[in-house]
Amino acid sequence: MFHRPASRPRLATAAVALGLLCTLSASAWADGPDPGAATLPATAVASAPGSATALSGYAIQSTTKVPDPASAVSSPGYRASGWYPAGPRSTVLAALLANGKYADPFYSTNLKNIPRSDFTVPWWYRSDFTVTDTSERTYLDFSGVISASDVYVDGHRVADARQVTGAYTHHELDITSLVRAGTNTVAFRIRPNDPDKNLTMGWIDWLQPPPDQNMGIVRDVLVRRGGPVALRDAHVLTRLDVPSLRTADLTVRARARNETGSAVTATVSGRIGSVSFSKTVPLAPHQTRAVTFSPSEVPGLRLRSPKVWWPAGMGGQPLYGLDLTASVAGAASDTAHETFGVREVKAPLNSDGARQYSVNGRRLLSKGGGWSPDEFLRWDRGYVEDRLRYVLDLGLNTVRLEGHIEPDEFFDLADRYGILTLPGWECCDKWEGQVNGGETGERWTDADYPVARASMAAEAARLRDHPSVVSFLIGSDFAPDARIEKTYLDALEEADWPTPVIAAASDNSSPVSGRSGMKMTGPYDWVPPGYWYAKREGGATGFNSETGAGPDIPTLDTLRRMMSPAELDTLWRNPDVRQYHRSPSPVFGTLKIYDAALAGRYGPPTGLTDYVRKAQLAQYEAVRAQFEAYGRNATDAAKPSTGVVHWMLNSGWTSLHWQLMDRYLDQGGAYFGAKKANEPLHVQYSYDDRSVVVVNNRHTPVSGLSARVTLFDPDGTQRYDRTATGLTVRGDGARVTALTVPSSVKGLATTHLARLVLRDAGGREISRNVYWLSTRPDTLDWANTDWYHTPTTGYADLRGLGSMAKVPVSASATTSLGPGGTSTTRVTLRNDGTGTTPSLLTDAHLVDAEGRPVLPVRWSDNEVSLWPGESVTLTATFRTADLHGSVPGVRVSGWNTTERTVRSR
């Protein structure tokens, strides 16, 4: 399940080099740079026309330690004495961390101890590459420079920081006249980054920002080769016949550019599957011409019975490939390849003004999370793929990228897995400097508009063929003004942008795009489960682009990896203390709101372990309720819910808030609460009206279902039991109300449990859902709602859970090898208690011989509740290599279950 496929061929060299850098950092560089020269292998550049070779790495150094002129630094043979090696995509700090210069920044306050002054000056990045054939033209092709750079090749400046500025702008520099046979050198003098002053990347209030502000080069720098005619901007426009899906029209577009001072005639030929096409293109000296192939010219570009791309859970994810070649006098001059999918995305406003997405004519509820890259922007394909697989495991279909728009491989993976993406610009810094009210971003000057347009044009060209990309959000907390919006829209139109453009992630309007159809009404801090059912503020109506119940306390395993013993002691004892691992924001600096609710509802914690176990219950019920409320309301006739993005999916750092999974991919209450809520066929309890509802997230209707609800006191005494039979529920998110729990049940304890069980026509259990409830509800102070939460003036009484007797849960496990280097452990849990008390939220953790969690792991289910005599078999799929040769163990714990570990057979 978690096998990591090989990278694309052109990245192989970079991967080898990165491995070499890791070896260096573990040896000679462990205590700082080698006093000798930083000798990195030169990148061997391919000669074939159309080839693009990524530089395999750099030597980097602060300009304060380099007295030599740029002409010397950027010349072959320069001795980079005392420089640090860096990977092909690396910020300055990422390279220094790889070289062991600083202690683990994810632990305690180590990040705070890294001096910011080291990064207030430019840094040099230099790399050598070799060319064997100088008869072809050579270009330097790159984006991802943070924040700006002067660029030199073989001792000559080829661009300055006024031209190369902005993290997303794309640059192609013709260096043919400078390149020689043998070794060549490219050097970047990178300027410091300030997200409030530069159109780059910042971290807002997600985590403690990196001291270097991510200055560096975070995407591949390519050396391209080609002949007299360059082929650029290749892409495919698709028009799918909806709703029949019987045909799809493909239009291929590209630009042919004559790089010579003489007139030439190029032949541009292409292929999509078995369909071939070609045309002759005369080009005057240095002329660029658009080249188009349409179904009217090439009948084969009207596909019959096309392979249609669907989001995960709605169908398959087939992809097509376009190959283009430009030839002159029968010789290949340049090539282009694009992968694309055939699908249609619509997102009109519904009658309530909310954005409603549909794909291929089928409406969907967008269920997602806010994506965060690694804090130091280190690209790790395997780690990214693990998180995207978690997205699918959680039953989500969307991720939102507010800024930090990931490299190409991210969207390749999203295409393959069917995960919809919502990229866009970020809030609260320079990107919204004109309109962001009291935030810190500086207002734009005339020099910023060309950078913004170039950024939009580059990202549009890069993302438009990816079927996973379903919109671009040109605003976040605020919508752009008329001049900025026109800047963006002109670039998008020129790039043939194919999907809806959204004015903002908040409920704002822009002059041209109009109303966003989204809302950003919070919450961002703790609210009780019942909050989500109200059709107001952040409740389950409309499209909520970022929302969640705030803090997420990780598992004990993760907490001990990220915090010192003293910090862990303060974590549970003192809610008023600022938590470094929460946020730099004064609003979210402490856990005061969260801790007050935890103590008020469950009782004051008695120690760290008790604090964490209560946190897992609180996070399970909060996240489950959020997704269940949006799922239930998706088909309402009035004010339906159309989308919800949990804020956030993950953190790029070791964090105490805004995450469904932690930095190390461990899973706790928030994760399994979301997984439970988003089951394909799901039975759930409604906090607002006590209805028991069945939601069918599959496309196919289901009939013959039965739903049973049983209420228990904490000791297992049964107080109520009802079953509804013969239920039918349509597909695509439809729901049916099975029954409603009475408002009062005789003898029911203040704190009680509700067990919901859904069975199919054959009597097989297909969904089980257990709630801990109170006859005393949480009381919300709606009148004093602010932008980040609604205060709670009275808490539900769940303290009765503390009286639950300990119950014995036995466990047995067997492990078998699976495909692709994976293994599967089958775990059978059984409540062996002789009384009536259930085991509540019983957790199984896969561990190695040292008791450390084996991660990532995909559980079929987890954090289950079992009544005496009940058993359940769970499966855990993982990479065999992550056991490091040990026999897997299963650590079983729970709310009222004594922790124990059993070894697998």
Q: What is the pLDDT of residue 38?
A: 62
Q: Grade residue 13 by pLDDT with cuts at 50, 70 and 90.
A: very low
Q: What is the pLDDT of residue 6?
A: 31
Q: What is the pLDDT of residue 188?
A: 98
Task: Say yes or no to pLDDT of 56 above 70.
Answer: yes
Task: Say yes or no to pLDDT of 29 above 70.
Answer: no
Tell me the angle at which helices 608-632 and 669-677 cross, rounded to the nearest 10 degrees.
20
How many Å apart are CA 896 and CA 618, to the nearest integer? Answer: 15
What number is the average pLDDT over the span 61-73? 98
How many Å apart are CA 188 and CA 221, to the nearest integer? Answer: 11
Task: Say yes or no to pLDDT of 135 above 70.
Answer: yes
What global pTM score does this model have?
0.94
Q: Grade residue 16 by pLDDT with cuts at 50, 70 and 90.
A: very low
Ranking 168-172, 221-225, 882-886 by mean pLDDT, the lowest is: 882-886
Task: Say yes or no to pLDDT of 2 above 90.
Answer: no
At 437-496, the pLDDT tens digits run 888 899 999 999 999 999 999 999 999 999 999 999 999 999 999 999 999 999 999 999
* Known active-site residue 546: yes
Which amino acid, residue 153?
A: V
Active site residue: 546, 628, 662, 882, which one? 546
Place of tokens 């490939």: 321
Tell me the angle at which helices 381-393 and 408-417 cross, rounded to the nearest 10 degrees.
30
How many Å apart are CA 296 and CA 292, to the nearest integer? Answer: 11
How many Å apart are CA 512 and CA 509, to the nearest integer? Answer: 9
* Known active-site residue 848: no
**CA gyration radius for the chain?**
29
Q: What is the pLDDT of residue 36?
A: 52
Task: Say yes or no to pLDDT of 412 above 90.
Answer: yes
Q: Grade residue 37 by pLDDT with cuts at 50, 70 and 90.
A: low
How many Å apart are CA 285 and CA 208, to the nearest integer? Answer: 53
Q: What is the pLDDT of residue 437?
A: 80
Task: Say yes or no to pLDDT of 17 above 90.
Answer: no
At 250-305, the pLDDT tens digits run 999 999 999 999 999 999 999 999 999 999 999 999 999 999 999 999 999 999 99
At 502-559, the pLDDT tens digits run 999 999 999 999 999 999 999 999 999 999 999 999 999 999 999 999 999 999 999 9
Task: Say yes or no to pLDDT of 841 above 90.
Answer: yes
Two tokens, residue 704: 């013959």
How many Å apart are CA 334 and CA 50, to the nearest integer? Answer: 4
Return the percentage of the chain with pLDDT > 90, whole number.
95
At 365-386, the pLDDT tens digits run 999 999 999 999 999 999 999 9
Q: Grade residue 651 by pLDDT with cuts at 50, 70 and 90.
A: very high
For residue 243, say if its preceding peptide bond is cis, omega within 30 degrees of 0.
yes
Q: What is the pLDDT of residue 40?
A: 84
Ranking 9-13, 684-688, 748-752 by mean pLDDT, the lowest is: 9-13
How many Å apart are CA 510 and CA 487, to the nearest integer? Answer: 13
Q: Grade residue 844 by pLDDT with cuts at 50, 70 and 90.
A: very high
- Listing DSSP states for 723-767 in one string gives EEEEEEE-STTEEEEEEE--S--TT--SEEEEEEEEE-TTS-EEE
| Sign of the dihedral through C-alpha 531, 532, 537, 538 | positive
Q: What is the pLDDT of residue 585?
A: 94
How many Å apart are CA 602 and CA 669, to the nearest integer? Answer: 15
At 589-611, the pLDDT tens digits run 999 999 999 999 999 999 999 99
CB-based contact 602:802 (threshold 8 Å):
yes
Task: Say yes or no to pLDDT of 110 above 60.
Answer: yes
Active site residue: 477, 507, 666, 797, which one? 477
CB-based contact 352:272 (threshold 8 Å):
no
How many Å apart are CA 766 and CA 899, to the nearest integer? Answer: 28
Q: What is the mean pLDDT of the chain?
A: 94
Task: Say yes or no to pLDDT of 26 above 80.
Answer: no
Q: What is the pLDDT of residue 23?
A: 32
- Listing DSSP states for 494-531 in one string gives HTT--S-EES-SSS-EETTTEE---B-----S---GGG
The Cα-based distances of 799 to 149, 267, 715, 795 in angstroms read 59, 77, 13, 11
Strand 366-370 versus strand 641-646 pairing type: parallel
Higher-confidence position of 65 and 31: 65
For residue 10, the SS3 value is helix
What number is the average pLDDT over the span 842-854? 96
Task: Say yes or no to pLDDT of 30 above 90.
Answer: no
Two tokens, residue 295: 């179904």
Q: What is the pLDDT of residue 231?
A: 98
Q: Among 357, 356, 272, which residue's Cα sits nearest to residue 311? A: 357
Q: What is the pLDDT of residue 8?
A: 30
How many Å apart are CA 310 and CA 295, to the nearest integer? Answer: 23
Q: Grade residue 827 by pLDDT with cuts at 50, 70 and 90.
A: very high
For residue 882, the SS3 value is helix
Tell me the angle at which helices 608-632 and 592-602 cross, rounded to the nearest 10 degrees.
90
Which amino acid, residue 4?
A: R
Q: Among 565, 555, 682, 706, which residue's Cα sits nearest to residue 631? A: 682
Q: What is the pLDDT of residue 172?
A: 98
Q: How far apart are the first and last CA of the chain?
A: 21
How many Å apart are CA 744 and CA 740, to the nearest integer? Answer: 12
At 780-807, the pLDDT tens digits run 999 999 999 999 999 999 999 999 999 9
CB-based contact 760:658 (threshold 8 Å):
no
At 322-363, the pLDDT tens digits run 999 999 999 999 999 999 999 999 999 999 999 999 999 999
How far from the centroid of its chain's Cα atoms is residue 246's Cα?
A: 33
